[in-house]
Chains A and B, each alone.
Chain A
Amino acid sequence: MDDYTVSVLTNIGLISFIALSAYLLIIAGEMSFGQQGFFGVGAYTAGVATAMYGVPLPIAAVMAMGAGAAAAFLVGLPTLRLRGLYFAMATLAAAEMLRIVFELIHFQREIDGEPIGPDGTQGFRGIRWVFENGVEPEGFLAMVWGLLFAVVALFLFMERSKLGATLRMLGEDPELARMLGVHVERFKLGVAAAAGALAALGGALYAHHNTYIEPRNFDIMLGVHSLAYALIGGLGTAFGPLLGVLIDIGALEGSRVFHGYRMIVFGGLVAVLLIFRPRGLLDERVVHWLKRRLA
């Protein structure tokens, strides 16, 4: 594999984490425009841990997930009371607040005579754990996809369980779910925290892939894309968001057919799909049909 293929595949893997995070919330009935904020929390947390305090990346990634879950929980407490569009707006506002917090953080440490750490809008350079530990791009790619497969396997396991069925209850009719004994608020907070942790894990890996992060990496563009990937790919299975990422980055961006006009094509694709297949290509019906076919 040449460098470019490796880097495209790594990017597909990285962005799949945040797409899955958006997917998790959508199947539980909440459309969040703010997952990029938790992606950023993960990136900054893990970056600070490895570059400033010499924490190994695996431990830093776990710390990032903890921070992402905590941040998502705190954001969820007030915002999950809101419905639909109001929830979407509140989560977007929360993510923008997080981004502005990243712009305000100046927290550096002298390491080998160099100041290392987040420096507001100047960004955070030198997250070099991957290079210092001699991890080759192929090795990092394997790490990203290994974790991604583990996450997808968890999703598939969850969707077979009562927990997964309950998430879909929340998404389809929370009032009915409540009458069937589900503590809706508690469940949704749990889902929000899990989705935050997942986005943060992606962010932690992203920071180490790129070695440099800045607040602007975590603006609305990333959030909108992650939502779009889940909606295009389909809400019937965790493979849906991966398909969405594959279509956009793999096919559109990777092939470079549309060059600078890709965003227009992508936007059009989203619009057309939302009209004709409102729950994506791999929606519940298709997945159910496939399952019966395979069984």
Chain B
Amino acid sequence: MAKAALGLILFFTALPLLAQKVEGELACRLTKTDFIYDCMIRISRGGLPLPGAAVTVGADMPSMPMAHNVKPVKATPGKTPGEYAAKLDLEMLGEWAVKLRLRGPVNDQLILLYEFDEKGAQPVRRGDRLPRK
């Protein structure tokens, strides 16, 4: 009985690891050329950095996803494990759905919503905002 309980507890604490959710975040800076951003991408699995993935970065405009996108580029591994660098050539400022295609240790796709402005990019957290204009 105690064994079973322990097993269950272990199982539940390990769940996040078992699920091994792949997550990503983005830090971008506008270069001197208009709408070209230097971006650092951090990718983790189950909370731990995920190195060694082949990452392709693209971006869609949320209101015209199939017809308005930028040509995906391959990201290069950064200095720290789980970090990848890429140059994003966006067509305009505003909100973009950044699409990360991962291959290698994981085969997955992440969509990150970011607002790109004159400095860099901030994640969009629509729940905190007023409804769209």
Contact = CB atoms under 8 A, between A and B. Distances in A.
Contacts, number: 75
Nearest to B62: A216
B101 interface: yes
Contacts of B56: 3
Nearest to A211: B109
Given A214-B62, A249-B67, A3 B72 contact: yes
B3 to A, nearest CB: 23
Given A11-B69, A15-B67, A114-B19, A122 B62 contact: no
A7 B58 contact: yes
A212 B19 CA distance: 19
A101 to B, nearest CB: 14
Contacts of B58: 7
Given A4-B72, A113-B16, A216-B62, A121 B126 contact: yes
Contacts of B35: 260
B15 interface: yes
Q: Which of A7, A131, A256 has the most CB of B within 10 A?
A: A7
A37 B127 CA distance: 23
A221 B97 CA distance: 16
B132 interface: yes
Given A114-B21, A121-B126, A248 B67 contact: yes
A113 B109 contact: no
A121 B66 CA distance: 19
A141 to B, nearest CB: 13
A253 interface: yes
B123 to A, nearest CB: 12
B70 to A, nearest CB: 9
Interface string A139-172: 0000000000000000000000000000000000
B19 A112 contact: yes
B17 to A, nearest CB: 10
B51 to A, nearest CB: 20
Interface in A97-125: 103, 112-114, 120-123, 125
Contacts of B80: none
Interface string B91-133: 1100001010100000111010100000000000011000110
26 contacts: A3-B56, A4-B71, A4-B72, A7-B72, A11-B66, A14-B66, A103-B131, A112-B18, A112-B19, A113-B16, A114-B19, A114-B21, A121-B126, A122-B127, A131-B107, A131-B109, A210-B65, A216-B62, A216-B132, A222-B64, A222-B66, A225-B64, A253-B68, A253-B69, A256-B71, A260-B91
